[in-house]
């Protein structure tokens, strides 16, 4: 049995580490990463971790055609492009580990995958899981959403580490929503911190962000309880509260620096999914008339160049109303 991982970034490599009791092939476009993994058993982007002999890398998608399990850890906006290039008619088991929503179609990533490839089973892995900590075998708990419980059990058996725990959910859409939207609110949290608005403001912002996430999820008939779990609230707390979060760091940087075009900042750092996801969510919320003022403010700051402080102060001074979850 062979496991394929689409994506040679830190998350794909962290997954390879915890799956390495089996044969694992990592697909990466960067030839330097492929060479480093094959010759030195390390990914230069992933600190403090090395691979065993079961892990190899390739820049050829052809080598993933016969894998039993395909883990997708690509940037969300690259998934369609890579899967169309992969050209596999039938994959046994697909596990989506990427977080985001496709901008061009406003579709969830499982819908994008469903359009391109045939598969036997599809699952979604999401939750509070920084790559460096997972690769160091530090305690981590995540949600694995599958349509059938037996598929959850089958995938769980691939990971022998007791420090990486997976909890079952049948809610694929809700699990994706939590993982995608929390990146937007991490940017808002970072902006709040960068503007020195204080811990009280940041706490209020995170709390009301969670309300927006559940409101969005209900519109798509996701189980509200999913959002209270690891892939929703758990991931939101981690991403908004830690300086290890790329999205939080992005928010801090744009609040404390002068950038004419935030896309320039995006190019200077690792993939910041929230920057792209907010565009997709903004379009979806307008089409479906979902009230999401925090998300809308982040969108206006990033794409319409609204004043950062004015937007956040406006949010914190919205008219008094009943608090609802």
- Catalytically active residues are 182
The Cβ-side half-sphere exposure at 7, using a 13 Å CA radius, reads 26
d(CA 180, CA 213): 10
d(CA 117, CA 250): 34
Q: What contacts 24+ positions apart, CB below 8 Å, involve 160-168?
A: 160/21, 161/18, 161/137, 163/137, 163/138, 163/139, 164/18, 164/134, 164/137, 164/140, 165/139, 165/140, 165/141, 166/125, 166/141, 166/142, 167/141, 167/142, 167/143, 167/229, 167/230, 168/143, 168/144
Q: Specify the 3-state DSSP secondary structure of 125.
A: strand
């Amino acid at each position: 049995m062979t496991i394929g991982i689409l994506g040679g970034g830190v998350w794909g490599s962290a997954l390879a580490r915890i799956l390495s009791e089996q044969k694992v092939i990592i697909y990466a476009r960067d030839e330097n990463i492929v060479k480093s993994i094959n010759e030195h058993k390390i990914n230069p982007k992933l600190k403090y971790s090395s691979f065993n002999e079961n892990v190899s890398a390739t820049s050829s998608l052809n080598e993933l055609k016969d894998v039993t399990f395909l883990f997708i850890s690509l940037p969300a906006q690259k998934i369609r492009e890579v899967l169309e290039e992969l050209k596999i008619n039938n994959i046994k088991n697909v596990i989506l580990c990427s977080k985001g929503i496709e901008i061009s179609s406003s579709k969830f990533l499982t819908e994008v995958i469903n359009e391109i490839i045939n598969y036997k089973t599809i699952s979604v892995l999401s939750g509070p899981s920084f790559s460096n900590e997972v690769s160091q075998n530090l305690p981590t708990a995540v949600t694995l959403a599958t349509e059938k419980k037996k598929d959850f059990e089958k995938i769980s058996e691939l990971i022998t580490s007791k420090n990486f725990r997976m909890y079952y959910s049948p809610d694929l859409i809700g699990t994706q929503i939590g993982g995608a939207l929390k990146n937007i609110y991490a940017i808002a949290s970072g902006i709040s911190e960068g503007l020195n608005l204080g811990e009280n403001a940041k706490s209020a912002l995170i709390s009301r962000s969670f309300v927006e996430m559940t409101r969005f999820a209900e519109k798509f008939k996701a189980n509200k309880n999913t959002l209270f779990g690891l892939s929703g609230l758990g991931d939101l707390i981690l991403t908004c509260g830690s300086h290890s979060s790329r999205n939080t760091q992005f928010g801090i940087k744009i609040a404390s620096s002068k950038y004419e075009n935030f896309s320039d900042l995006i190019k200077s750092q690792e993939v910041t999914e929230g920057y792209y996801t907010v565009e997709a969510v903004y379009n979806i919320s307008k089409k479906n008339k979902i009230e999401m003022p925090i998300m809308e403010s982040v969108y206006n700051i990033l794409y319409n160049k609204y004043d950062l402080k004015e937007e956040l102060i406006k949010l914190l001074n919205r008219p008094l109303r009943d608090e609802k979850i």
